Amino acid sequence: MPEKVLQAVRGMPDVVPAQVGPWQWFERLVRDTIQGYGYQEIRLPIIEPTQLFARSIGEVTDIVEKEMYTFIDRNEDSLTLRPEGTAGCVRAVIQHNLAITPQRLWYSGPMFRHERPQKGRLRQFQQVGAEVFGIATPDAEIELIALTARLWHLLGVSGSVKLELNSIGSVTARAQYKLALVAYLSERLDELDPDSQRRLTTNPLRILDSKNPDTQRVLDGAPVLSDYLDEASSTAFRQLTEGLDALSIPYVLNNRLVRGLDYYNDTVFEWTTTELGAQGTLCAGGRYDSLVGQLGGKPTPGVGFAMGVERILLLLEACQTPLPKIEPLVFAVAAGKPAELACLIDIERLRSHFGSAQIVANLGGGSFRTQLKRADKSGAHVALIWGETEAAQGAVTVKYLRTEQEQQTVTYDQAVELLERIVINL
Residues 76-105 that bind RNA (CB under 7 A): 84
CB 366 within 8 A of CB 379: no
For the four alpha carbons of 229, 232, 235 and 240, in that order, the dihedral sign comes to negative
Residue 399 binding RNA, by CB under 7 A:
yes
Stretch that binds RNA, among 46-54, 113-121, 219-227, 294-302 (CB under 7 A): 113-121
Minimal distance in Å, beta carbon 39 to RNA?
18
The two most distant CA atoms of the chain are separated, in Å, by 95
Q: Considering the complex, what minimum distance in angstroms separates the CB of residue 391 from RNA? A: 7
**With respect to RNA, which residue has the nearer C-beta, 383 or 419?**
383
Q: Among the candidate windows 22-30, 173-181, 183-191, 270-278, which touches RNA by CB under 7 A?
A: 270-278
Please state, as a whole number, how many other Cβ atoms lie within 10 Å of the Cβ of residue 186. 12
Q: Is residue 183 classed as helix, strand or coil in its secondary structure?
A: helix
Considering only 20, 189, 278, 341, the residue that binds RNA (CB under 7 A) is 278
Pick between residue 75 and residue 403 the one whose CB is nearest to RNA. 403
Work out how close the CB of 224 gets to RNA at its nearest, in angstroms, rounded to a whole number. Answer: 20
Looking at the Cβ atoms of 75 and 320, the one nearer to RNA is 320
State which of residues 23, 25, 368, 412 lies at the interface with RNA (CB under 7 A): 368
273 in contact with RNA (CB under 7 A): no
Residue from 91, 104, 113, 174 binding RNA (CB under 7 A): 113
Binding of RNA by 373 (CB under 7 A) = yes
- DSSP symbol at 118: B
> CB-wise, 37 or 400, nearer to RNA?
400
Q: Which long-range contacts (CB under 8 A, 24 or more apart) does 395-403 make?
A: 396/342, 396/346, 399/372, 401/331, 401/375, 401/376
How far apart are the C-alpha atoms of 37 and 140, rounded to whole Å?
Answer: 11
At what angle are helices 139-155 and 231-246 packed, to 10 degrees? 30
Can residue 260 be called a binding residue for RNA (CB under 7 A)?
Answer: yes
Binding flag, residue 284, RNA (CB under 7 A): yes
Binding mask 200-229 for RNA (x = CB under 7 A): ------x---xxx-----------------
Tell me, by CB under 7 A, how many residues bind RNA. 74
- Of 42 and 383, CB closest to RNA: 383
Of 55, 82, 91, 199, the residue at the interface with RNA (CB under 7 A) is 199
Q: For the CB of residue 247, give the shortest distance to RNA in the complex, in Å.
A: 21
Q: How far apart are CA 96 and CA 93, in angstroms?
A: 5
Q: Are strands 69-72 and 396-400 parallel, antiparallel or unpaired?
A: unpaired
- In the list 35, 95, 118, 172, the residue contacting RNA (rule: CB under 7 A) is 118
Beta bridge partners of 330: 359, 382
The string of DSSP letters for 43-91 reads ---SEEEHHHHHHHH-TTSHIIIII-EEEE-TTS-EEEE-S-SHHHHHH
- The count of C-alpha atoms lying within 13 angstroms of the C-alpha of 293, restricted to the half-sphere facing its C-beta, is 7
- Say if residues 409 and 399 touch (Cβ distance below 8 Å): no
Restricted to residues 303-362, the positions that interact with RNA (CB under 7 A) are: 306-308, 310-311, 335
